[in-house]
């Protein structure tokens, strides 16, 4: 009979083999890889939970050996370790159950880690950091913007940098590290009691640091090992959830948001902008003549063009703007904190860059035309549906007039002149 954890450890192998067997594309490979990683994390969690439960039952059955001495408030270390493992597993299980659909997963996870380390170690000044590839600074996991990453501590210098780059744990009461590491620890402005890395695929992806312990003697090697493994499993589970979200809400051909996810996220973004009395612009990029590539059997060229145009749009907007693909030949962009005039200038510059990209597809450059239709919120706060309808209407007017860019302001001016 297969055990649940045994099945979960087999699933990654099946998920890894599925792309070749089924002939699926790269987006599905990403999805299957994320599923495989989640299975590994869950499998490890099952094993650790079962180990903790069986150890706990064994200690209870042992009788008086597990009962703390009444004259000494501290239980024996092995019991402390097993009790901590059981309680941490229960806390992680409860958190995972209630956090599946949270949008602020990392903020919630950061709070969970702080609570667990405070409860089981008496720890204070707890920090959780992401280690990003190619970034020389650590980013706090609760940070929500790109600007926060530049304000974090160095990922290459000091004690935090040593743990991040070497992948080696540091504990202040561990006699295993040498005098050089002690000198490094003493040469920093921040005193750290314990720092350990979160590792995945032989790389450091996170760093957790504890600044102070009420009683440093509780930090035994056994308890450190339990906490490190359980928290690392939960960390990687959050990573897998984020990967799954990206894979499921991304258009496979272009890599930008699908229509449904764009509408959901744009609704929230628009509400935030209106609360702050900020203007927004909705821009629709239309690719005219795409069907000619299909009719000519040039599907690979067509797919490459779609992907590169989507990347161009994504790179030219800010981090809190949104890009989505609404149909085979239409992209929609939500530009925040922009009036209609600036929105038009950005659309014109983006269109010029897109035209340069289109010229690289020599044959298709004579058959495909690009046009932008724009709609701005102005002083009113129209709903998203009205802005989208106005932007699509502007794109249609641009086609009728034979111009590359048309905004709702120009449409209103034309209508006023024809009255």
Residues 314 and 179 placed together within one structural domain of the fold? no
Task: Let me know if residue 254 belongs to a domain.
Answer: no
Residues 98 and 240 placed together within one structural domain of the fold? yes
Task: Please report, for the domain that includes residue 367, its CATH number.
Answer: 3.30.70.270
Mean pLDDT of the chain: 77
Task: Let me know if residue 86 belongs to a domain.
Answer: yes
Q: Are 38 and 241 in contact (CB under 8 A)?
A: yes
199-213, 214-228, 350-364, range with greatest mean pLDDT: 199-213
Section 335-356 average pLDDT:
93
- Domain end call among 213, 236, 267: 213
94 burial level (CB within 10 Å; 0-12, 13-18, 19+)? exposed
Task: Let me know if residue 141 belongs to a domain.
Answer: yes
Residue 180 pLDDT level (bands cut at 50, 70, 90) = confident
* Confidence at residue 203, expressed as pLDDT on a 0 to 100 scale: 92
Q: What percent of the chain has pLDDT over 70?
A: 72
Section 208-217 average pLDDT:
88
Task: Let me know if residue 359 belongs to a domain.
Answer: yes
Q: Read off the pLDDT of residues 289-321 as tens digits, 9 standing for 90 and up.
A: 888 887 788 888 888 889 999 999 999 988 889
Distance CA 366, CA 12 (A): 47
Residues 141 and 235 placed together within one structural domain of the fold? no
Residues 162 and 115 placed together within one structural domain of the fold? no
Residue 418 pLDDT level (bands cut at 50, 70, 90) = low
- Domain end call among 227, 249, 271: 249
Distance CA 251, CA 313 (A): 14
Residues 273 and 367 placed together within one structural domain of the fold? yes
- Domain end call among 154, 186, 213: 213
Q: Name the residue among 285, 290, 265, 364 with its Cα closest to residue 330.
A: 285
Task: Please report, for the domain that includes residue 141, its CATH number.
Answer: 3.30.450.40
Distance CA 337, CA 405 (A): 20
Residue 362 pLDDT level (bands cut at 50, 70, 90) = low
Residues 21 and 110 placed together within one structural domain of the fold? yes
Residues 199 and 329 placed together within one structural domain of the fold? no
Residues 267 and 375 placed together within one structural domain of the fold? yes
Residues 314 and 407 placed together within one structural domain of the fold? yes
Task: Let me know if residue 150 belongs to a domain.
Answer: yes
Task: Let me know if residue 114 belongs to a domain.
Answer: yes
Burial 97-123 (b: 16+ CB within 10 A, else e): eebeeeeebbebbbebbbebbeebbeb
Number of domains in the chain: 3
Domain that holds residue 51: 1-120+216-249
* Confidence at residue 253, expressed as pLDDT on a 0 to 100 scale: 73
- Of 49-63, 71-85, 136-150, 187-201, which gets the smallest average pLDDT? 49-63
Q: Does pLDDT of 333 surpass 80? A: yes
* Confidence at residue 14, expressed as pLDDT on a 0 to 100 scale: 43
Gyration radius (Cα) of the chain, Å: 28
Q: Does pLDDT of 113 surpass 80? A: yes
Q: Please give the residue that has the higher pLDDT: either 43 or 223.
A: 223
Task: Let me know if residue 8 belongs to a domain.
Answer: yes
Residues 188 and 271 placed together within one structural domain of the fold? no
Distance CA 227, CA 385 (A): 49
Residue 350 pLDDT level (bands cut at 50, 70, 90) = very high
Residues 6 and 64 placed together within one structural domain of the fold? yes
Task: Let me know if residue 106 belongs to a domain.
Answer: yes
Section 107-127 average pLDDT:
90
Residue 417 pLDDT level (bands cut at 50, 70, 90) = low
Residues 170 and 312 placed together within one structural domain of the fold? no
Section 41-64 average pLDDT:
44
Q: Does pLDDT of 363 surpass 60? A: no
Residue 250 pLDDT level (bands cut at 50, 70, 90) = confident
């Amino acid at each position: 009979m297969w055990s649940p954890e045994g099945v979960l450890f087999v699933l990654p192998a099946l998920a890894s083999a599925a792309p070749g067997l089924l002939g699926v594309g790269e987006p599905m490979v990403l999805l299957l890889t994320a599923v495989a990683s989640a299975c590994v994390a869950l499998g490890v969690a099952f094993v650790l939970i079962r180990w903790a439960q069986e150890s706990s039952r064994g200690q209870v059955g042992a009788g008086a050996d597990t009962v703390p001495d009444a004259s000494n408030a501290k239980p024996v270390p092995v019991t402390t370790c097993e009790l901590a493992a059981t309680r941490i597993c229960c806390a992680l299980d409860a958190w995972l159950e209630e956090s599946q659909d949270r949008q602020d997963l990392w903020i919630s996870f950061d709070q969970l880690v702080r609570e667990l380390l405070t409860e089981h170690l008496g720890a204070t000044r707890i920090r959780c950091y992401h280690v990003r590839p190619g970034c020389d600074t650590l980013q706090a996991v609760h940070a929500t913007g790109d600007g926060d990453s530049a304000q974090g501590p160095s990922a290459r210098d000091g004690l935090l940098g040593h743990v991040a780059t070497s992948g080696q744990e540091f504990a202040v009461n561990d006699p295993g590290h040498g005098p050089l590491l002690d000198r490094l620890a003493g040469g920093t402005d921040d005193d750290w009691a314990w720092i350990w890395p979160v590792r995945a695929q032989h790389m450091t992806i996170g760093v957790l640091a504890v600044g102070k312990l009420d009683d440093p003697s509780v930090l035994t090697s056994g308890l450190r090992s339990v906490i490190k493994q359980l928290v690392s499993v939960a960390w990687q589970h959050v990573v897998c959830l984020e990967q799954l979200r990206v894979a499921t809400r991304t258009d496979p051909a272009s890599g930008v948001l699908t229509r449904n996810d764009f509408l959901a996220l744009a609704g929230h973004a628009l509400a935030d902008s209106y609360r702050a009395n900020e203007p927004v612009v909705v821009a629709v990029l239309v690719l005219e003549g795409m069907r000619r590539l299909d009719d000519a059997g040039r599907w690979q060229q067509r797919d490459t063009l779609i992907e590169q145009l989507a990347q161009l749009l994504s790179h030219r907007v800010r981090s809190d703007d949104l890009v989505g693909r609404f149909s085979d030949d239409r992209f929609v962009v939500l530009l925040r904190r922009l009036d209609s005039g600036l929105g038009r200038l950005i659309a014109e510059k983006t269109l010029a860059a897109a035209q340069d990209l289109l010229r690289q597809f020599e044959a298709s450059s004579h058959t495909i035309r690009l046009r932008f239709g724009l709609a701005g919120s102005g002083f009113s706060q129209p709903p998203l549906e009205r802005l989208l309808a106005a932007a699509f209407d502007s794109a249609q007017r641009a086609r009728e007039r034979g111009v590359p860019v048309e905004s709702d302001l120009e449409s209103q001016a034309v209508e006023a002149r024809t009255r």
